[in-house]
Chains A and B, each alone.
Chain A
């Protein structure tokens, strides 16, 4: 809500979700909260985009979704990383690092 909040960079939402889920299985809101916490509030996840992304990842077989009872006996959809999701996370991480390094180099050169 603060101006410092930034929407997730286009195309990196999948990576953030996979990374978050690699820590532990959690539900949609948990993912949002965790992304915001870890990024220290820099990134804010829009729930609509999150749902679309979760459907995409589920169908791609990177995450599993399961309805389970939470501690306060509500039904919640818990997402967990699959084996192929972990592989995908590794690949995307490597890819991201390469890009980020390249961008950093470019920006430095310009400076």
Chain B
């Protein structure tokens, strides 16, 4: 009750200050009248009575002040008054205000935008209940990278482990959805029954998968995301139980996922179906392939460590009930990590580096504005001295300065959030494809809170240094009454400029190293010629084209039509496309040296290609012959080509031609090596993984229903995209075509993460250098202003214009050189952060450091020149005539 009264009365006093004053006045007048009446009653004349009453009541103004001061809202009102005053001061210096606010807006905006991009991935918990208990599980088979698990391993762990609420194995699935609309290839997952329980998500419509769905040859059922539900099923609530045609098969939709569901394991997945592997684990089937990812939800109350220890103990102690394949013996144990860590693993270095870079930028912005504030503080020394003389306490003046800087920061912060809102869109557009949680990037509550925290911190930081300076000045300056008490200012301002240059150098070095890495990367020959090549991926329905023959016939017919398109010189199909993200490896076993290559678990990339592939891609033949149309005939031995690295390693003597080998399954007829071709980069330009085997597409035992088309063109490849798609669809309009791209673009995209980091570093570095240059310019202009007299004296005593310019430029360059030196030292340490993003360049690359240092000193010289020229124009007579 009384708190309510306090608040309402206080608020009313703030909002209606004048009315409160009027009421008090009226009450005092009435008091006075009563008192006067009483004095009159005692016999005083009306005049005397009035005087006596006035004397009693005293000054209305003082009473009003006392009443006001006694209430809590007086603090608010004082702050409001200070704010109004600060706003007036800032308005009166528009140049300073605009530059400072813009600088802060840029810094806060960039930082906030980057924070909004990295927050959902690096910092915020995954969007699942109890997300910290969700783990990913990998086979630790090789030392270097986590390996996907086999279904056999999943089965064993699911039966033997007790630390989990749910475990699930899953793999990508890309069914074609056909129906009324144009065939569309969906991204999806085949998942074992516990998938959504492991994530802690339940469908909002229909039901989750259960054990009866996830059996070999089980029912065709699917769960769809809310997005797909709205897009393709009109958001119809009765969709559950309806059928959809997926890659030619009829699937019953049994559930719809909640609208906000974000699958970090497959950000673009829209449809899920049960894995339906064979629990009897046939030894020659896919059940023992290392191609499943696995997640688990640890029991509430158990730590990830406990669960990890249990799994590792299980791995170390095989039991007879769970026979293991030789290549899935779990001898090296399992890798168990929190899912959050797992999904951010690949992007973490880049995102942390970018976040670090933007914080540097923010720091530079803060330093710059602090410097401007200091310069202004120096100009306003008179004003503060006046206020102090009029009785303002030191704390009052410091408070005033802090309120000014907070107001400035708030203006900058508000503009910064606007910058961030725009910047976020740019960041999202730039993000590498497949970035987990990209959908969650945006200016949300956490981001606003971050911006607010940054703004307030900056407001205090940029205010504290000048406030401290001013308050020291008040002590010294008032006593000495001199306008030249500037030694402290000068030192602080110069130190700040040095800091600014140093920070800019760190950013520049980072940008330079990344730039050189990109140059190195794109200078690497991928092993094929991507120019003038168009590529697209085509998927056909296994149910419609049953068996290898039907699939081969379709792809052969399609190839004929594509080749007939004007502008096409050659075309071919391949099961996987270099630098596209495809990744398909099989064990390679050679008849002559089976043990050697098996022992170190050698696997090779498998390319099932049609005969013109090498003509289109310009992959060079090294020895033997290429594949031709005769190799596609069913009655000849299977002819294969090896990449030269694999040939050299398997047959150091150089006699690869004519050798026999198996790829994958070892129970079929032998393949015969007929040729050796050049190495090709598959996963990334940066990764050397040259072992490859090329098989005639028609001879691979299982047909590849998903293939990439490569087309060499006479004209701009992109211009043929539509007609080539039309040529394929003229054969069968139900088969989706995706990933249509000129090959050059695909290659560029394959380095998207580095490019992302590079672009942002470049942008930040440009801004940083600009700010540093402005900082140098500002300090030197101030110095020239302060030293006008001195320069005048020097000129009068015979210093030439050149001397004066040299003096000023030298002063600026001294700052720049100090900053460059410190910056290079910091960069040498800090560049280790981006080491994983670099390629072919040491984090200490001397050329980069040298170029950056020279570039900054050149820019600094330019920034020095303007004030120096002004100094040179100083007229000694003018300045000395005082």
Q: In the complex, are the beta carbons of A74 and B30 less than 8 A apart?
A: yes
CB distance from A41 to the nearest CB of B (A): 13
Segment at the A interface, from B66-74, B253-261, B612-620, B749-757: B66-74
B205 within 8 Å of A by Cβ?
Answer: no
Residues A61 and B58 in contact, CB atoms below 8 Å apart: no
Main DSSP-derived SS at the A contact region: helix
**Chain B: minimal CB distance from A34 (Å):** 12
Is there contact, CB below 8 Å, between A60 and B31? no
Bound CA span A29–B62, Å: 18
Interface string of B53-68 (1 = CB under 8 A from A): 0001110001100110
CB distance B6 to A48 under 8 Å?
A: no
**With an 8 A cutoff between CB atoms, is A86 at the interface?**
no
Question: By CB atoms of chain B within 10 A, which of A46, A48, A52, A61 has the most?
Answer: A48
A32 surroundings in chain B (CB, below 8 A): 31
Q: Are A47 and B70 in contact (CB under 8 A)?
A: no
Chain A, range 36-71, C-beta contacts under 8 Å to B: 46-49, 51-52, 55-56, 58-61
B62/A48 in contact, CB under 8 A: yes
Choose one: A46, A49, A58; the contact of B9 (CB below 8 Å): A58
Known: A48-B63, A55-B67, A55-B70. Contact between A60 and B30, CB under 8 A?
Answer: no
- Distance (whole angstroms) from the CB of A45 to the closest CB of chain B: 10
Q: Does B5 contact A (CB under 8 A)?
A: yes
Report the Cα distance A20→B22, complex, angstroms: 26
Whether, in the assembled complex, B156 has its beta carbon less than 8 Å from a beta carbon of chain A, the answer is: no
A52, B70: Cβ atoms closer than 8 Å = yes
Flag whether A98 is at the interface (Cβ < 8 A). Answer: no
Q: A27-B34, A29-B35, A47-B31 are in contact. Are A52 and B67 (CB under 8 A)?
A: yes
Are the C-beta atoms of A59 and B2 separated by less than 8 Å? yes
Closest Cβ neighbor of A33 among chain B residues: B38
List of A residues within 8 angstroms of B454 by Cβ: none
Q: Give the Cβ gap from B404 to chain A, nearest Cβ, in Å.
A: 32
Is A75 part of the contact surface with B, judged by Cβ < 8 Å?
yes
Asked if A77 and B28 sit within 8 Å, CB to CB, the answer is no
Cβ–Cβ < 8 Å partners of A28 in chain B? 27, 30-31
Is A6 close to B, CB under 8 A?
no
**In the complex with contacts A27-B34, A29-B35, A51-B66 CB distance below 8 A:** yes
Task: List A contacts of B31 (CB < 8 A).
Answer: 27-29, 32, 47
Contact check, A51 vs B62: say whether CB atoms are below 8 A apart. Answer: no
> Which residues of B have CB within 8 Å of A58?
5, 9
Give the CA-CA distance A84 to B2 in the complex, in Å.
10
Residues on B with beta carbons closer than 8 Å to the beta carbon of A46? 58
For A77, give its contact among B27, B38, B70 (CB under 8 Å).
B27
**Residue from the list A51, A61, A77 in contact with B67, Cβ < 8 A:** A51
CB proximity of B383 to chain A, nearest CB, Å? 34
CB distance from A86 to the nearest CB of B (A): 14
**B219-236 CB contact bits vs A (8 Å, 1 = yes)?**
000000000000000000
Chain B 580-599 interface 0/1 with A at a Cβ cutoff of 8 Å (1 = within): 00000000000000000000
Q: How far is the CB of B41 from chain A (nearest CB, A)?
A: 11
Contact assessment for A51 and B27 in the assembled complex, using a CB-CB cutoff below 8 Å:
yes
User: With an 8 A cutoff between CB atoms, is A15 at the interface?
Assistant: no
Cα–Cα distance between A59 and B62 once the two chains are bound (Å):
21
Q: What's the least CB distance linking B32 to chain A, in Å?
A: 8
B66 contact set on A, CB distance < 8 A: 48-49, 51-52
Check: B33 CB closer than 8 A to any chain A CB: yes
Chain A residues with CB under 8 A of B58:
46-48
Tell me whether A60 and B26 are in contact in the complex, defined as CB-CB below 8 angstroms, given that A47-B58, A48-B58, A55-B70 are known contacts.
Answer: no
Whether B24 sits at the interface, judged by CB under 8 Å, is yes
For B5, the chain A residues whose CB sits under 8 A away are: 58-61
A-contact 0/1 string along B1-35, CB 8 Å cutoff: 11001100110000000000001101110110111
Query: Are B30 and A77 in contact (CB-based, < 8 A)?
Result: yes
**Residues 63 to 99 of chain B near chain A (Cβ within 8 Å):** 63, 66-67, 70-71
Q: Which residue of chain B has the shortest Cβ distance to A55 in the bound complex?
A: B67
Question: A29-B35, A47-B63, A51-B67 given as contacts; is B30 within 8 A of A61 (CB)?
Answer: no
**Assembled-state Cα–Cα distance A37/B580 (Å):** 100
Residue of A nearest to B62 (CB): A48
A8: interface (CB < 8 Å): no
C-alpha gap A61/B364 in the complex (Å): 53
Residues of A within 8 A of B30 (CB): 27-29, 74-77
A62 to B547, CA, bound (A): 93
Among B1, B6, B31, B70, find the residue whose CB has the most chain A CB atoms closer than 10 A: B31
Q: Which of B30-55 contact A (CB under 8 A)?
A: 30-31, 33-35, 38
In the complex formed, the residue of B with least CB distance to A62 is: B2
Contact B70 A56 (CB under 8 A): yes
The distance in angstroms between the C-alpha atoms of A13 and B57, with both chains bound, is 17
B residues less than 8 Å from A27 (CB atoms): 27, 30-31, 34
**A26, B595: Cα distance in complex, Å:** 110
Known: A46-B58, A48-B63, A74-B33. A59 touches B28 (CB 8 A): no
- Measured between beta carbons, the chain A residues less than 8 angstroms from B57 are 47
A49 to B67, CA, bound (A): 8
B22–chain A nearest beta-carbon distance, Å: 12
Cross-interface CB contact of B1 among A29, A47, A77, A84, cutoff 8 Å:
A84
Bound-state CA distance A76–B30 (Å) is 7
| Bound form: Cα–Cα A29–B30 in Å | 8
Residues of the A chain whose Cβ atoms lie less than 8 Å from the Cβ of B38 = 33
Q: Are B2 and A29 in contact (CB under 8 A)?
A: no
Distance from A18 Cβ to chain B, minimum over Cβ atoms (Å)? 14
Shortest CB-to-CB span from B11 to chain A, Å, is 12
Cα A74 to Cα B66 in complex, Å, equals 25
* A47-B26 in contact given A55-B70, A59-B2, A61-B1 (Cβ < 8 Å): no
CB within 8 Å of A: which of B342-368? none
- A7: min CB distance to chain B, Å: 13
| Min C-beta distance of A33 to chain B, whole Å | 7
- Cβ contact within 8 Å between A59 and B9: yes
Q: How far is the CA of A48 from the CA of B58 in the complex (A)?
A: 8
- Within the complex, the shortest CB–CB distance from B600 to chain A, in Å, comes to 84
Q: Would you give the shortest CB distance from B403 to chain A, in whole angstroms?
A: 27
Assembly CA distance A97 to B31 (angstroms):
31
Contacts of B23 in A (CB 8 A): 77
Measured CB to CB, the closest approach of chain A to B785, in angstroms, equals: 51
The 9 A-B pairs at the shortest CB distance, nearest first, are namely A29-B34, A61-B2, A48-B63, A29-B31, A52-B70, A47-B57, A60-B2, A77-B27, A28-B31
Q: Write 28 A-B pairs (CB below 8 A) sorted by A numbering.
A: A27-B27, A27-B30, A28-B31, A29-B30, A30-B34, A46-B58, A47-B31, A47-B56, A47-B57, A47-B58, A47-B63, A48-B66, A49-B66, A51-B27, A51-B28, A51-B63, A51-B67, A52-B66, A55-B70, A56-B70, A59-B5, A61-B2, A74-B33, A75-B30, A77-B26, A77-B27, A84-B1, A84-B2
- B-binding residues in A (CB < 8 A): 27-30, 32-33, 46-49, 51-52, 55-56, 58-61, 74-77, 84
**Contacts A28-B31, A58-B5, A61-B2 known; 13 new A-B pairs at CB < 8 A:** A27-B34, A33-B38, A46-B58, A47-B31, A47-B56, A55-B67, A55-B71, A59-B10, A61-B5, A74-B33, A75-B26, A75-B30, A77-B23
